[in-house]
């Protein structure tokens, strides 16, 4: 796919992996719809994206656990941009590792809603519009936890295994359309995701988010006859 001029939606775009994906796509000359919860951080990323070469960049601040807000935001994005070519489902949260009964009911529900339910809802909104394009892509940023079971990650892993299953089925469903679907399954990344959950981990040994963003751009920019359905990135 030739990325210049393409319109891309990136969830979780205010920091971490999402921010780096936005900035890498900006250097390719994309138009960007950047989704996240923190309006102030999103505005900063919009300014960075424009400075980096984005043809257009807009921020959409809302809570992914709010289905009504998600529906309204999807409608607004479609009104603001004349087309959507790329959907990158990146947003996600972590729960502190531990037995299932150590995870609060509210956090359990929020993890499922943000990591899986909202991803499917937003994809459902955008899919008919992606099908209208000559070439389009959906890239789900999942996690190694969607491939390998790891102790203490019961709910998180459930959501990521769900993303993997959703990605694989969506790929089959869209095989005869112009929408290409892929999953990225990365190991630990040097972001604030763990700190936000109150867990101390040795982030410095993990993959850098800008390196993962390079992988995303590489996946999206393959020639028409090449598509990377699944990529795993490990330390």
| pLDDT of the residue at 189 | 62
Query: Do the Cβ atoms of 30 and 3 come closer than 8 Å?
Result: yes
Q: Report the alpha-carbon distance of residue 171 to residue 231 in Å, rounded.
A: 14
Candidates 60, 156, 161, 185; catalytic one: 156
Could you report the per-residue pLDDT of 108-119, keeping only the tens digit for each? 999 999 999 999
| pLDDT of the residue at 192 | 56
At 138 the three-state DSSP class reads: strand
Q: Which residues constitute the domain of residue 118? A: 7-233
Task: Give the residue among 178, 187, 166, 170 at the shortest CA–CA distance from 231.
Answer: 187
CATH of residue 155's domain is 3.40.50.720
Is residue 1 situated within a structural domain? Answer: no
Is residue 117 situated within a structural domain? Answer: yes
pTM to 2 decimal places: 0.92
Instruction: Give the DSSP letter of residue 55.
Output: S
Query: Do the Cβ atoms of 182 and 87 come closer than 8 Å?
Result: no
Residue with tokens 């909104």: 125
| Residue 161 among the catalytic residues | no
Total domains, the chain: 1
| pLDDT of the residue at 76 | 97
Is residue 173 situated within a structural domain? Answer: yes
Task: Give the residue among 45, 57, 4 at the shortest CA–CA distance from 27.
Answer: 4
Residues of the chain with pLDDT under 50: none
Is residue 211 situated within a structural domain? Answer: yes
Is residue 85 situated within a structural domain? Answer: yes
Q: Report the alpha-carbon distance of residue 21 to residue 166 in Å, rounded.
A: 22
Instruction: Give the DSSP letter of residue 87.
Output: E
Is residue 2 situated within a structural domain? Answer: no
Is residue 118 situated within a structural domain? Answer: yes
Is residue 58 situated within a structural domain? Answer: yes
At 10 the three-state DSSP class reads: strand
């Amino acid at each position: 796919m030739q990325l210049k001029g393409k319109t891309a939606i990136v969830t979780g775009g205010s920091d971490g992996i999402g921010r780096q994906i936005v900035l890498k796509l900006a250097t390719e000359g994309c138009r960007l719809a950047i989704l996240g919860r923190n309006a102030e951080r999103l505005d900063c990323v919009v300014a960075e994206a424009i400075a980096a070469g984005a043809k257009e960049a807009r921020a959409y601040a809302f809570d992914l656990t709010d289905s009504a807000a998600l529906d309204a935001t999807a409608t607004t994005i479609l009104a603001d941009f004349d087309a959507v070519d790329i959907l990158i489902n990146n947003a996600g949260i972590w729960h502190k590792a531990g037995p299932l009964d150590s995870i609060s009911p509210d956090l359990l529900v929020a993890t499922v809603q943000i990591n899986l339910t909202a991803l499917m809802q937003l994809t459902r909104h955008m899919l008919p519009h992606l099908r209208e394009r000559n070439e389009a892509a959906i890239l789900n940023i999942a996690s190694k936890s969607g491939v390998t079971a790891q102790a203490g990650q019961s709910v998180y892993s459930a959501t990521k295994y769900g993303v993997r299953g959703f990605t694989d089925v969506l790929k089959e469903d869209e095989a005869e359309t112009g929408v290409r679907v892929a999953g990225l399954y990365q190991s630990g990344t040097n972001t604030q995701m763990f700190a936000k959950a109150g867990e101390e981990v040795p982030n410095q040994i993990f993959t850098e988010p800008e390196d993962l963003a390079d992988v995303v751009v590489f996946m999206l920019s393959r020639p028409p006859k090449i598509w990377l359905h699944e990529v795993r990135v490990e330390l």
